[in-house]
Amino acid sequence: MFVTELDFEVYCDTSMAAVEKAINYCLDCLRYNGQVIGRELPVLMKGTNFVARVICPEEDSLHPDNHSPQVNLAFKQLSDFGLLQPKVKVVGQDMNSDPSDESEKVSWQILYTTHLHTCSPIRHGETFQPIPLYRLPAVANGDQKQFIKWQEDWSACDQLQMNGSVVEHPALHEVSSSESRLFKRGWDLCRRMAVVSGIPTYLYIYRVGGESKEKELARKCPVCDGEWALEEPIHEVFDFKCDECRLVSNLSWDFKD
């Protein structure tokens, strides 16, 4: 990923409230299209300029070709608030971020995230690198907001169950059960993405606990009750894969080597 600056310049009389509203709306639209990563987006005041420093999946993430209709509208409205179109400057590559997938073709992909990840929740099935969301067709309303909101909810539940101090069990249910609302939302998104992109899209189900490694290895797909254990794990994470239901899962972390 790349640290990038957007420099918004004030060109006429306006108010701080108007500038704040316009810039934050632009950043929200960029985030919901996957062009900007994360939720903490600092904006620096430099005289008549306001500089937003953001993290982008690729060097050219903010190119107009990647804009959603919402982003185009947000940028078009900047002049109404006394702002010029932002100047974009790539500062450099972020060494702590996952590099984006650069494959020309994707044979299958996975909807996967954790409380530690802010990158795209869709990963290449073969490389396990995140695929920028703006590279994929929108599943609703012209952008990828529904995937971002699903990721936020999944990450929040994962953080709660990892902390183990409050609402641990309800949060664990959401990320690990095929009966949870979060599972149903994610599974629906995967099926919709598969239709619009033509790429088989699998959903990850978290697994922890269990009685023994043997019983865990013998467990069936939670949806179709079919065999789904793999001979070798995929990316050292996924030990189960159901091609019928398009689901992947791990051997319980309590027994994983």
**pLDDT per residue as tens digits for the range 58-90:** 999 999 999 999 999 999 999 999 999 999 999
Residues 6+ apart with CB under 8 A from 40: none
pTM across the whole model: 0.94
Per-residue pLDDT for 97 more than 90? no
Cα 68 to its chain centre, rounded Å, is 16
Instruction: Report the CATH number of the 2-93 domain.
Output: 3.30.70.100
Rounded-to-integer distance, Cα 193 and Cα 200, Å: 8
Rounded-to-integer distance, Cα 143 and Cα 134, Å: 8
By CB atoms closer than 10 A (0-12, 13-18, 19+), residue 92 is: exposed
Beta-strand pair 122-124/109-111: antiparallel
Rounded-to-integer distance, Cα 99 and Cα 105, Å: 17
pLDDT band at 219 (very low <50, low <70, confident <90, very high): very high
| Beta bridge partner(s), residue 90 | 4
| Beta bridge partner(s), residue 229 | 240
- The 3-state DSSP class for residue 216 equals helix
Q: How many CA atoms lie within 13 A of 12 on its CB side?
A: 7
Q: pLDDT by residue (tens digit) across 103-144? A: 989 999 999 999 999 899 999 999 999 999 999 999 999 999
Percent of the chain surpassing pLDDT 90: 92
Residue intervals of the chain classified under CATH 3.30.70.100 are 2-93
Alpha-carbon separation of residue 228 from 51, 73, 125, 225 (angstroms) = 50, 46, 16, 9
